[in-house]
Amino acid sequence: MKNSIQSMPWGAFEGQEVRLWHLVNANGLELQFTDFGGRLVKAIVPDRAGRFDNVTLGWPTLDEYVAENGGTYYGALVGRYGNRIGAGKFTLGGKEYTLELNNEPAGIPCALHGGLRGFALRKWTVVEEIHDEDKVGLVMEIESPDGEGGYPGNVKVRATLTLDNNNVWHIGWKATSDQATPISLTDHAYWNLDGVDAGTTVMGHQLYVNADVITAYGPAMIPTGEFRDVTGTPFDFRTTHAIGDMHDWDYDQLAYGAGYDMNWVLRKTPGDELSPACILTSPATGRQIEVWTTEPGVQVYDGYYLPVRNAGVALETQHFPDSPNHPEFPSTIVRPGVPFYSTTEFRFKVQG
């Protein structure tokens, strides 16, 4: 079987045609993307018996993605800034910037995922299709004008999405700006490796996270600056166990997030580039995803607030939430002439 790309119209958004792309590798694994929000719509992968099912949450139609207006961010490429910025404010170069407020944990407003017109809610432009012997893919671009969402700088983002014959979905990010500005880009796919039509939650999925600490937060889900050791807490996934094993609602970080919705600080060694972040496995089907990234953190969100509670889990590789307000965190500031680069891979496997 040869790998392939097929493209077809999938409706319209703000007077522009939206398309759906089917990327299929030599093993029959298929990823479907749309240029609305750069979203992964379906991921059709085999289980230990060779049965193929869709394992990522999404809506059947474009109209449903548009109508939800960012309620779930199903499968989206997220920016300018993935995750939250406290009170929608930060100071850069001596100037305070005020962002759009679009999220209210515990009734306390913040800016989430780039604001009201973040990248998840806009049409991307597919500038190239990749047809190689060992992989297929798409190159998508989006531009964000100075002041959009309250952020400074004219920003251009390129996302290169490929599926290779080793069953690896590779995301390569590049971002440039003509002014200093914070940028943190992530993918917001939700996974249910039982298959999204199986009628199960992800509470029985086995999870490993390559992290010793979390960036603890308060009721507003904004980091306090504390790096909290996971030892002896429900956030210790250094030994693989089920997501639902340790839902101790008396633990403050679980109570604030209504379950797992937390940034883990990934273990890195000097010189690390692409390194392991987490491993998600379905005992029922044997399907497994290894996540590798150059990013310093991963947000694990167990989908408590999804239309079907805990129907999927998001594994969002990222810089840390609210980094512009925390000089102790790795910097997210992108400056003119110094592009931002990032890589994440989702490696699909099957366990016997």
Q: pLDDT per residue over 254-313, tens digit each? A: 999 999 999 999 999 877 789 999 999 999 999 999 999 999 999 999 999 999 999 999
* Mean pLDDT of all residues belonging to the chain: 96
Query: 3-class SS at 324?
Result: helix
Q: Quick: pLDDT tens for 325-352.
A: 999 999 999 999 999 999 999 999 999 8
Q: How confident is the model at residue 12 (pLDDT cuts 50, 70, 90)?
A: very high
Q: Give the E-state strand segments of 25-64 in sequence order.
A: 30-34, 39-46, 52-54
The pair of structure tokens assigned to 25 is 């590798």
Instruction: Look at residue 249 in the predicted model and tell me its pLDDT.
Output: 67
Q: Is 205 a catalytic residue?
A: no
Pairing of strands 84-86, 110-112: antiparallel
Active site residue 290: no
Both tokens assigned to 184: 């943190």
Q: What is the fold, at CATH topology level, of the domain defined by 4-350? A: Beta-galactosidase; Chain A, domain 5 (2.70.98)
Phi/psi at 238 (5° precision) = -70, -25
| Model confidence at 144: pLDDT above 90 | yes
Question: What is the pTM for the complete model shown?
Answer: 0.97
Spatial distance between the Cα atoms of 264 and 84, rounded to a whole number of angstroms = 15
The whole-angstrom separation of Cα 97 and Cα 223 is: 19
Active-site entry in 113, 170, 188, 205: 188
When mean pLDDT is compared across 66-70, 122-126, 184-188, 324-328, the lowest value belongs to 66-70
* Catalytic residue, candidates 113, 316, 326, 345: 316
